[in-house]
Structure 1
């Protein structure tokens, strides 16, 4: 196990999830008060859950529009699988095995890693998606109370 992996293992709570457009505009896709958790286990597994705290209580009526399932309207993101850390380049890859989004299954989420004390920042490795956004997730180590 690498030194960086030893530092990452454990439970983390979401501080912020933001996206930056090519024009430099910052948006919060699940709200500026989104809640979330990410767990890195010593056996190489990761589990991620992030939600919009203001999401609708009537999810069923939001799920289908024009007979198509609209996951983005759920205000929730969740997946799990294995992870691998490239310590030299400070890159983490999540290999997704289970996901709320079926199109993510068997895919990968690649993240740049920054550790600063009790904070872990995971960010995109350059612009992603058709809108060429960059995203950053800031996590704080969950402490036992």
Structure 2
């Protein structure tokens, strides 16, 4: 059965960027999601439509249909005093509450004696994603 809107899909996948595996559930539990419910990235979702149970497919999702283009304006440098009591490390992901109660994440990209540079872009922003997907079940 081919995948259509509101169906439950059971899928295994492998995600690569520049031939490096970032995530894989090929030899473990598959993910289960409702098609067209926004549970997976849009570019992958549109490219699995009409796949059938048991079908495997290699799929390239461009950055603009995944996590978007990298935006230089989403990085900022703040005084290190804003981070008192935190043992900062490059690559560390910090969470904070926004003005409207939303939670946002920032990755620490640079730490000096005076300043900390944080990046609010998604870690995969600007990256084209290469997937191998196996559709296990469609209900």
TM-score tier (shorter): 0.3 to 0.5
Q: TM-score, normalised by structure 1?
A: 0.34
Q: Which has the higher contact order (CA 8 A, sep 6+)?
A: 2
| Structure possessing the higher radius of gyration over alpha carbons | 2
Higher percent of residues as strand:
1
Q: TM-score, normalised by structure 2?
A: 0.35
